Amino acid sequence: MATANFDRQIRNTIEAFVEELSGLVRAAALQSVTEAFGAGGVPARRGRGAVDIPAPTGRGRAKGQKRAPEALAQLTESLLSAIKANPGQRMEEIAKGLGMSTGELTLPAKKLLAEKKIRTKGERRATKYYPAT
């Protein structure tokens, strides 16, 4: 009789534990879903191409979208100023100084080269930029 009572206590304790554990798992799953979808109902970005909607790039335009001519002109002028202030720097150094990526500065650099406002020395990543003399 004592054994049956002891078995019942064990079973009740196990059932209570399983119920509590199930509740915790449900709460954790709900929290994960809430974090993934956030307040706006848009899934969080995880990895390359995980979301079908265009994600903001921090530059105010979607990937592949053309820049406004005024913004491009302003960026070209700031690149020219940076090259004049620090002649002989590589594009990585210039971009770091301007707080931009080298990809964002590619088109303005090509425009300045075409207009012969700057000149270069070196090749590929060793290219250094100088103001035209």
Is residue 53 pLDDT above 80, yes or no?
no
Name the 3-class secondary structure at 117. coil
Break the chain down into helix, strand, coil percent, rounded to 5.
60, 10, 35
Is residue 52 pLDDT above 60, yes or no?
no
Residue 57's alpha-carbon distances to 6, 36, 62, 93, in angstroms, are: 63, 19, 6, 22
- CB atoms near residue 83 (< 10 Å): 23
Is residue 56 pLDDT above 70, yes or no?
no
**One-letter amino acid identity for 130?**
Y
Q: What is the pLDDT of residue 7?
A: 87
For the entire predicted model, the pTM comes to 0.53
Under 8 Å CB-to-CB from 117, ≥6 apart: which residues?
Answer: 80, 131, 132
State the average pLDDT for the chain.
83
